[in-house]
Amino acid sequence: MTITVLAAYAPGPGHYNTLRPLVEDLAAQPNCRVYWCGSQAVANFVDTAPVAVPHRPAGFETFLPSSAGVSGDDIIRRMGQRSRDDIGRLMEELHPDLVICDTSERGAVLAARDRDVPFLRVVSCADAATARSSTLEARRRTLIRGQDGDDLRSPWNLGTVGFGPRWFFTDDHEPGERLRCYRYRPSGSTPVHPPSRPARPRALISFGTFITEPSAEMLEQAMLGLVDAGIKSITIKIRLPTSRARLQEWTELNSARTDSVIEVCSELDLAHHLTEADILLCHGSATSTLEALYRQVTPVIAPSHNDAYFVARRCADSNTAITIDWATGFTRQNIRTAATTALHSLRIADGIERFTLDNNELQPINSLAEHLTRTVGKNATR
């Protein structure tokens, strides 16, 4: 028999990319049909074509902005109810045997519970399975539902999984829910190299897609500090057109004074660039940080929101990244010190090697895909 899987994600590229390796491995299973569902804007941005899985729109196109008179609870309720309704309608049409979703896609959990369909959650925000965040997520699902309920004790809950070493997703306390971890890998089977090989050492600067970027002034100081540390090529992503124009002008004036090559762009595909990088200056999203560590590129993390602080703490505790303060760290001297440490610290090199060893000890994601299709297939035939 053919097993149908619905893969639902919250409206952000990081949430989509969290599920992507599992979706790829499920789609490769015999007699398994997989559908993406979520924001069409995100699907267009990340390009779903290489995964060869059809996409169906569901939920809001992006996270709703906070505004005067609209509370965070109101936003969670509106977004969750919309995705619950949309995904529910898709389930009535497609009749899935399994729903997989990232931990921020709460409506998918409720839609699966409504119809007694097995569901599996994949950690997207790195702290989602901690005791504190698990309690918060249960409260958010209650807000969406409109009444109390314990979704994760449901017999339809197949559990929560993380892709990467367990210590990346846990703190000093017991997790709030049972967490199984599998070997992290980026999407795609082989590394993608950039069209030209840049001078080394090389730094990438990328601060996500929908979050606040450092100002042009902060990034100018960052680039000066990187050059001082001996970086020979820098590729920087900045979305805001006015800031990008200013940095391009600044780059033209300052590149001639150094022997470093500096490129400014509006988008940066990390899969194409991390294989030829040494440092990633970023905000500390779980997906970007994990991919950097997988490629043995040292993250320099300047956290500014939510789970990025958790990622920064876990990386600092494990000696796998350098962290700087968002408000005070973007000075020429601070960036030079951070980059020099990232390039030359044996402690950091040992920490990243430990990440590689711990990650390689885990079962691959395709073993999870095989287990899911086998388990769901048996249940479906009963």
Do 78 and 158 have their domain in common?
Answer: yes
Residues 176 and 208 placed together within one structural domain of the fold: no
Looking at the structure, do residues 120 and 242 belong to the same domain, yes or no? no
Token pair 């090697």 in the structure block, residue: 353
CA distance 334 to 98: 48
Q: Who wins on pLDDT, 137 or 67?
A: 137
Query: What's the chain's average pLDDT?
Result: 90
pLDDT tier, 219 (very low <50, low <70, confident <90, very high otherwise): very high
Q: Are residues 112 and 98 in the same domain?
A: yes
Domain membership flag for residue 79: yes
Are 172 and 287 within one domain?
Answer: no
Same domain, yes or no: 107 and 232: no
Residue ranges making up the domain that contains 278:
202-360
Does residue 190 belong to any structural domain of this protein?
Answer: no
In a domain, 302, yes or no: yes
Tokens of 97: 């045997």
- Report whether pLDDT(97) > 80: yes
Write the pLDDT tens digit of every residue in 240-257: 899 999 999 988 887 777
> Is residue 192 pLDDT above 60, yes or no?
no
Residues 49 and 179 in one domain: yes
For the chain, what is the domain count? 2
Q: How far apart are CA 365 and CA 124, in angstroms?
A: 15
Helix (H) or strand (E) holding 4: strand 3-8
Query: Bigger pLDDT: 219 or 64?
Result: 219
The 3-class SS string of 270-312 reads HHHHHHHCCEEEECCCHHHHHHHHHCCCEEEECCCCHHHHHHH
Summarize pLDDT for 168-191 with one digit per residue, the tens.
Answer: 999 877 778 889 999 999 887 455
- How confident is the model at residue 377, as a pLDDT? 78
Q: Do 209 and 69 have their domain in common? A: no
Percent of the chain with pLDDT over 70: 94
Task: Judge if 241 and 281 occupy the same domain.
Answer: yes
Q: What is the mean pLDDT of residues 227-237?
A: 94
The enclosing domain of 293 has a CATH number of 3.40.50.2000
pLDDT at 172: 79
Q: What pTM did the predictor assign?
A: 0.92
Distance between CA atoms of residues 304 and 247, nearest Å? 22
Looking at residues 133-137, what average pLDDT do you find? 90
341 lies in the same domain as 370: no
**So what's the pLDDT on residue 23?**
96
Query: In whole angstroms, how far apart are CA 201 and each of 3, 227, 244, 274?
Result: 47, 10, 23, 12
Evaluate if residue 102 carries a pLDDT over 90.
Answer: yes
Residue 293 lies in a domain: yes
**Where residue 92 falls among pLDDT bands split at 50, 70, 90?**
very high
236 occurs within a structural domain? yes
In a domain, 167, yes or no: yes
Q: Are residues 217 and 320 in the same domain?
A: yes
Q: Give the pLDDT confidence score for residue 150 in this predicted structure.
A: 72
How confident is the model over 346-375, as a mean pLDDT?
Answer: 97
What six digits make up the tokens of 323? 């962290």
**125-161: b (≥16 Cβ within 10 Å) or e:** bbbbbbeebbeebbebbebbbeeeeebbeeeebbebb
Residue 239, classed as helix, strand or coil, is: coil
Classify residue 194: in a domain, yes or no: no
Q: Check whether 328 has a pLDDT greater than 70.
A: yes
35-75 per-position pLDDT tens digit = 999 999 998 888 655 667 999 999 999 888 776 567 788 99
pLDDT reported for residue 305: 81
Query: What token pair was written down for 58?
Result: 């569901």
- Examine residue 322 and state whether it is found in any structural domain, yes or no: yes
pLDDT of residue 96: 97
102 and 221 assigned to the same domain: no
Among 338, 296, 288, smallest CA distance to 316 is for 338
